[in-house]
């Protein structure tokens, strides 16, 4: 598995990056999101690699749907997370792949090709990464800095509290570099499971947590979840204590 993942990351990074610099078509899906033909090509490439190595596994792809396997393993693919940025030739996009075994997320792979950053964790072991995860230090401090998605109505909630608010449009890098960055937590919306599943093994590897804004566990395939990803359990508790003071629901604009 380790050799496969390392080779997979390199091959998909190069394949997706090649598509980024080519001409591609763009269309709008019924849900209002955009998709390019590169999304579909990247997903098909991933499926081809997975089928060759793991022919009995199920695969759930954002663009191509579900293919049932013969065992209890399922791969979940978001071929281009941040297609709108991709379609505008901005670098803030990534490839997300996760592996579920018996209702446990065993593997998380996040690749940001333009920025050449990536991390893959399998069974709580770091397989390959552009970061030196041995250097992670999580210090106690009075104020936390959160990377918060800018279409969430949280500015008034957080601006006057000990949690500092900062808009951020790009989350692939924020999350997989969480142990190194100035951010202590990331708040982001996840309309579908494939938008967040790949991050969970990575967050857990550094001792972090993935939850809803009230600190509760997220169902495996729950949709339209505003997700809180933190460096540690202590950070999570402190941030949740701030958020639960507010009665109004956090809505996605």
The per-residue pLDDT for 145 is 78
pLDDT along the chain (253 residues), means of 10: 97 96 88 87 98 98 96 97 87 93 95 92 95 68 74 66 53 66 81 92 90 92 90 87 63 45
40 C-beta neighbours (distance < 10 Å), count: 17
User: Strand 94-101 to strand 163-168: parallel, antiparallel, or no bridges (unpaired)?
Assistant: unpaired
The per-residue pLDDT for 250 is 52
The per-residue pLDDT for 31 is 76
The per-residue pLDDT for 247 is 47
Give CA angle at 210 (242, 199), nearest 5°.
Answer: 135
Give CA angle at 146 (144, 147), nearest 5°.
Answer: 160
- Residue 212 burial by Cβ neighbours in a 10 Å radius (0-12, 13-18, 19+): middle
pLDDT tens per residue across span 201-246: 999 998 889 999 889 999 999 999 888 998 889 888 888 887 776 5
Q: Where in the chain is the domain with CATH 3.30.540.10?
A: 2-130
Q: Are 202 and 175 in contact (CB under 8 A)?
A: yes
Instruction: Assign a CATH topology to domain 2-130.
Output: Fructose-1,6-Bisphosphatase; Chain A, domain 1 (3.30.540)
CATH no. for 144-243? 3.40.190.80
Q: Where in the chain is the domain with CATH 3.40.190.80?
A: 144-243
Its sign, for the CA torsion 11, 193, 108, 233, is positive
The per-residue pLDDT for 156 is 65
């Amino acid at each position: 598995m380790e050799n496969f993942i390392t080779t997979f990351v390199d091959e998909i990074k190069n394949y997706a990056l090649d598509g980024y610099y080519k001409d591609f078509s763009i269309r709008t899906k019924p849900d209002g999101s955009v998709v390019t033909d590169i999304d579909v090509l990247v997903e098909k490439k991933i499926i081809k690699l997975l089928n060759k190595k793991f022919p009995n596994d199920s695969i759930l792809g954002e663009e191509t749907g579900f293919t049932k396997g013969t065992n209890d393993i399922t791969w979940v693919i978001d071929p281009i997370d941040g297609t709108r940025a991709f379609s505008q030739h901005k670098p803030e996009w990534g490839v997300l792949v996760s592996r579920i075994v018996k209702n446990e997320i065993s593997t998380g792979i996040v690749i940001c090709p333009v920025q050449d950053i990536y991390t893959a964790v399998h069974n709580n072991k770091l397989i390959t990464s552009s970061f030196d995860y041995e250097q992670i230090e999580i210090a106690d401090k009075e104020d936390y800095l959160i990377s918060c998605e800018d279409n969430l109505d949280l500015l008034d909630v957080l601006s006057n509290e000990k949690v500092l608010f900062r808009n951020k449009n790009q989350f692939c890098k924020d999350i997989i570099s969480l142990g190194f960055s100035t951010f202590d937590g990331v708040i982001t919306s996840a309309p579908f499971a494939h938008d967040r599943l790949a991050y969970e093994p990575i967050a857990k590897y550094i001792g972090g947590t993935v939850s809803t804004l009230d600190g509760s566990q997220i169902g495996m395939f729950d949709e339209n979840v505003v997700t809180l990803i933190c460096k540690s359990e202590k950070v999570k508790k402190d941030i949740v204590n701030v958020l639960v003071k507010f009665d109004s629901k956090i809505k996605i604009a």
